[in-house]
Amino acid sequence: MALIQIAEPGESTTAHQHKLAVGIDLGTTNSLVATVRSGEVSTLPDSSGQHLLPSVVHYAENAIHVGSEAQSYSVTDPLNTVVSVKRFMGRGIEDLAVEETHYSYEFSETNSVIPRIKTRAGDLSAVEISAEILKALKTRALETLGDEINGAVITVPAYFDDAQRQATKDAAKLADIKVLRLLNEPTAAAVAYGLDSGNQGVIAVFDLGGGTFDISILRLNNGVFEVLATGGDSSLGGDDFDYVIAQWMIEQAGMDDMGDPASKRLIMQQARAAKEALAGAESTGVSLDLGDIHWQGTLDREILKALIMPLIKKTLMSCRRALRDADIEKNNIDEVVMVGGSTRTLAVREMVAEFFECEPLTSIDPDKVVATGAALQADVLVGNKPDDEMLLLDVIPLSLGIETMGGLVEKIIHRNTGIPVAKAQDFTTYKDGQTAMAVHVLQGERELVADSRSLARFELRGIPPQVAGAARIRVTFQVDADGLLIVSAREENSGVEASIDVKPSYGLSDSEVETMLRESMEHAEDDMHSRSLREQQVEADRVLEALDSALAVDGEQLLSDQERSEIMDVRQILVEVKSDTDKEKIKQTIERLEKACENYVARRMNSNIKSAMQGHSIEEYASDERSEAEES
């Protein structure tokens, strides 16, 4: 079963027409590129045999260095050496308040919502810097394979939202790389393990990299990888481990802070080296030699575990939430796959094993497993395996919908729906003669617009004027395989339509993502009550508007003064109670008003029928019906 059409008509591939495609793991700390050759998948090394490319970019006077060469400048020229830029992909200026203390480079003060980093080459965005990393990986692939690349599958954290995914695609475009699709990192790991080992059942993919954490619950069955639920933190990873270790070191050395940018980078490098050393040793020596500060000490696994325990617990909270979303118990998990260099930390493996009550899988290098899966998927998408049975079913992380009357959110696509997906829902006009409709696209789990995130707005104009409720407006949400959204609206009777490609200028901060999910659960009961109340209030407004419109047309002719007075008395009561918080009271008053208007409604109906038949006879209608019957 193919994920998409893999060859145009007349362009089917054969054995001697093997197309070269690569899988790229664009990581926070390290990046890799892999490909499938002769049926075997492997990561591609540089000229010195190194497979991992440090995700570091240095801007020199007349050159740009990427990888290990750039890393060598991180202490001598820290202001022009950018590390961990992935953490800022698709992010906003306000998201940097806490994070910017981690890094030695500086952010420029601009009016742009997109953060820009000060460098010798000018103020650069995360997209532009990431493009340099992708260019280096592309160059490595071309030099190794010696042929043109037909496309690439690039991996992203499962919790990346629309803006972060779009930023990744924009970086690839700057690097002149054709993106076959964006693939969630945990799903890529499942591809690698599933195809190599033939695993079936329910697995948890625990992906802890240098700057992001993802947890995905997947069901594997006969080549189908279905993501049941995702969770995580797009700003939690090994960098944060390094930071707390560095804080411990300066505290032990009696320092107040990390000092200047060069000192900060040196301390962070020492912290990372100590963390990595403890993956294979019980303890390691650490030291600081900064000007007047000369300190030596010992960091062991117990101290490390105590330092990073709060961070590991945050990952386990996300795991618990993902299990709940997938409606899966821990004992239903068949295997736990460890992905990302930070999972080499023994404390992480121990606590994950304790949480899931099983020993996690680590047989594939956690640094290479994501690129391996991406390469396998890329090989399928360029058409080298037309009979391949692999199908990937990713999910969207947060529900998508539109605003309806009363400030309510009508969800079109619900959270954890498999993608790609297209769903439509019909709406109608609220007022007589309405010729335009504003479409407000929202994201989140709450019931009210005020509690949701606004993604985009557009207008559908040119609706033929009709009575309220006569128009049929179909709103369609399409989420592609990369998780990007297109919203369109079409008035079915006239054919007028409008659409928008939703590309938010920046993504959700981590606190916003966590808050949206947590509050949707904490306030579920209150939200349902608020929604029911608002629906009754909207219905009250609708009834009042319909009544006022009718009275203006024929109220004087069809109602006596007493009848009109009785209706207006009940109408006034509804006006007063519709702002009440008692939805039953509003509902009862609406019913009371409808009862008071029963005779008036009957007279209007009779009057309309009489007007429609004026100048015609019953025999004419009977004759028309006989003619239609004979024709049929």
239 is catalytic: no
207 is catalytic: yes
The position carrying tokens 């948890």 is 204
| Strands lying side by side in the sheet with 418-419 | 335-339, 201-208, 213-221, 224-233, 391-395, 418-419
Q: Pick the catalytic residue from 19, 77, 86, 514.
A: 86
| Secondary structure class of 240 (helix, strand, coil) | helix
Q: Pick the catalytic residue from 99, 170, 185, 394.
A: 185
Q: How many CA atoms lie within 13 A of 602 on its CB side?
A: 5
CA dist 504 and 454 (Å) reads 9
Q: Pick the catalytic residue from 132, 207, 325, 491.
A: 207
| Secondary structure class of 200 (helix, strand, coil) | coil
| Secondary structure class of 328 (helix, strand, coil) | coil
**Among 415, 419, 421, which residue's Cα sits nearest to residue 453?**
415
**Among 548, 570, 552, 564, which residue's Cα sits nearest to residue 599?**
564
Beta-carbon contacts of 153 under 8 Å, excluding residues fewer than 6 positions away, are 21, 22, 23, 24, 179, 180, 181, 182, 183, 188, 374, 375, 377, 378, 381
**DSSP result, 23-61:** EEE--SSEEEEEEEETTEEEEPP-TTS---EE-EEEE-S
| Strands lying side by side in the sheet with 453-461 | 408-413, 400-404, 436-443, 453-461
State which amino acid sits at residue 506.
Answer: Y
State which amino acid sits at residue 408.
Answer: L
CA dist 66 and 80 (Å) reads 12
Strands (DSSP E) contained in 234-341 are 283-290, 293-300, 335-339
> Do strands 122-125 and 116-119 pair parallel, antiparallel, or not at all (unpaired)?
antiparallel
25 is catalytic: yes
Please check whether residue 432 is in contact with residue 549, taking contact to mean a CB–CB distance below 8 angstroms.
Answer: yes
Write out the H or E segment, with its range, that includes residue 438. strand 436-443
Neighbours of 49 (CB within 10 A): 6
Residues involved in catalysis: 25, 86, 185, 207
